[in-house]
Structure 1
Amino acid sequence: MMIAGISEPESIPYEIRAVAIQLYSAADRHEDAGDALVRVAVRLQQHWCSGAGDAAWQELLALCQQARETSPAFREAADALLACATQLEAAKDDWEKARTLAAQERAALPGPQVFSQAGVHAQRAASDARQAISRAAAILHSLADKADPSRVATTATLSAGDQLRGVAVGAWNAVREPVVQAAETSTVRLLVDPAGWAEEMRLIFTGARYAASDPDELVDLLGYAPGPAPPVGETAGGMLPDAILGPMTKGIVPAVRKSYEFADRLADLGEQVEQLERVGRQGPAPLLLPAGTGGPVVPAPGVVLPAGYPTQVRDLTAERRRHILAGDLPAPTGEPSKGGGHRPGLGKPGKSEFPPGWDDERIIKTVMQTARQPEEGKLDRGRYVTFTRVDGVLVKVVVKPDGSVVTGFPDSGPGVVRNPRARQSW
């Protein structure tokens, strides 16, 4: 439909929100990978002592730092995409107003007319939609960092919406799994089957190298030959999501280039396995573990926990960390989240907040302390609820029977803020 000579703008806020949520998930995966690498490094330092062992330990700590540094890039892009989606929704509302006004003016003034008010809304809707889609596309293009000009040029034949969807799919596929794959490699296997572990690392490394050096051949082998259809955008955005165990350098997002380096550097670490076979063992070394680290349950003296309470608390996942601090992600429909969010000053309706001055690390350490060293505990609807008082603040934590922490928040105490619930609109 056209109004005052203006075509109806594209509106794809749902797709953009879905991509933003996927990018949030990618950020969480990198955080989880970093935490997993810390655990690997801890076990390695505890059990191996040699020049090679020390080098491997330092290498893993460096990889952990890199994994954690990638997360902000994904979150910033996701935040920006959500803003684009909101702008598109506003543009859609403006277009609907223009449509209504045009119908009213047409009914009141038969024949060719200049739709004054309708034209104003239509022009604004089209301009806002173009701006939002252009901005979203720029965000995703900067993530995708397409390296092949010939492939990128063909995307000009597609509509803006097709390009955005294609690049979004490709960019998301390009960020999957390499760090998590490397982080989940078992340290036990490294110690028991070092040759197999090294070979697995070499395969990751070789696969990534092959895809980077021969992308066209690999495309043809897997039936991903590019053409003048929407898959071109997908190819430009990421290329071959499942072809290798790590992403290739063609079409990879800048922040995820570090993921490619992880596979490379882990392969180098695999080369040291023969030396690791010959090193001696040593006892555990004390380490300052990061906030969120799980461990054995040691209740306060005299405390009797309910039957079945886990003997080991698992490491806190990035998803649960976000739930406790900032709250759950918004739904793809744009509805705000209602769960969690206890960081000081956040102001979520109906939620309690930790005292001002409590930073994220202190909050998470207190939550994990409450789960691992409870002063009180009870069974409630299949889950365990524990309490511990820290600096006068009574902290409540919910733990699953498998040792996973569900949530944690301040119940009462000095500095604790309890936000009023949102009023119902009738």
Structure 2
Amino acid sequence: MFSSLRLYFSPIVKRNEELRLLQIFKPLYIVLSFLGLIPCSIEFPRGNVDCIILHKSAFKHSCCAFLTLLTVYVFFGLHVYEVLTSREETVLADDQTAKANYIIELVTQFTFCNATYFCAFRCKEIYVSILKEIARSWDDLPYVNRRIILGRIRARVNCVIIGTICLIPLTLTAVTYAGSSSLWKSILITFSFNLPEIIQFILIAFYYVFVLMVVALLKNIEDHGRMFMKARRSIKNSSSKVDLGRIRITLSQMQCVYVKAIRVKRQINAVFQAPIMFSLFQCFHTMVSESYDICQGLLYQDNFTTHNLIECSYWVLLQLLKIYFLARSGSLLKAEALAIGRTIHDIRSHDEDIKLFVEIQHFSTLMAFQSTEITIFDYFPLEAPLMFNMVAAAAMYLIILVQFAKTR
């Protein structure tokens, strides 16, 4: 058992191990099925490049989604009613800005859940189409050792992503129930704040794993490009003529797989951009409101406890973690595309090999016009500057809120 568990988290794929790219998606698929974020069962048969959608199981997954949404709806209503009618002496009762921020945060979490499940049911066929396209594109270039790519992605998914998904509910529960709030208040927070937050992380993990599989396709193209470049150099440096037929891969094949990978990227962009937009809006508001609560508590409130400080700081940290994963996804795609470009330009052709020269130019031109950016409705890309822009904007609005609170 220990050896099997060690193999599950190992970045090294053994020669006798049958690991396919789609099998890396299975652990996350189980979590998504439990919450109904994939409204149908998907079977990953061994020896078959395509996954199979089982329409008969749609009822079971729909029930999971309905129960999750119903829970969010019920506790959202109860929580809003509790905030508006409570007569307890709390921070929300004394500060109307904090009360408004609290309700807005509830609404943003509620809106995100609605958008997520709506897109999940609307795009369930696209999910399967993406998985099939990834599997076929992966098998279109099988001529190099791909175990290194699979091992690294498996370690990222099983250790980092699945580990984060398991750790966040535990820490959220500990932070929520360790305070001095009543049991009913903690239950309301659990199902109207913590549950949507967990759904957000699972959805971002869903998107991030899809991006990692596209990055694996691009990395596979880069490795084949290096193999092609070494073969060309060996032909050029050989004193005797070498048969070009021994090179089992061509630039046209790599270009075809690149086009498929970019097509999958566009599908991922179209499917996830609406939920990610609501998630980013919620992240921005939560960072501002929680930071505002920290400032108000430290400066003007005598009953602001250490637990309140830890809880608010933890929620800010969660938002930064989500933004980091979203920004990291776009940076990975862009970096791998640049690596492919450098590899293609390093291929040296003979002076008389005009066909290869034209193929290189065509591939380079295609890469220039096939963008790897993932954008939110073409307003802004998910890249490394996203983290800086979000934090800078949140800091600016926080300063305005604090100054407004001081003048009242």
The alignment's TM-score, normalised by the length of structure 1, stands at 0.28
TM-score calculated relative to the size of structure 2: 0.29
Name whichever structure is richer in helix by fraction: 2
Point out the structure with the larger strand share: 1
Of structures 1 and 2, the one scoring higher in RCO (CA 8 A, sep 6+) is 2
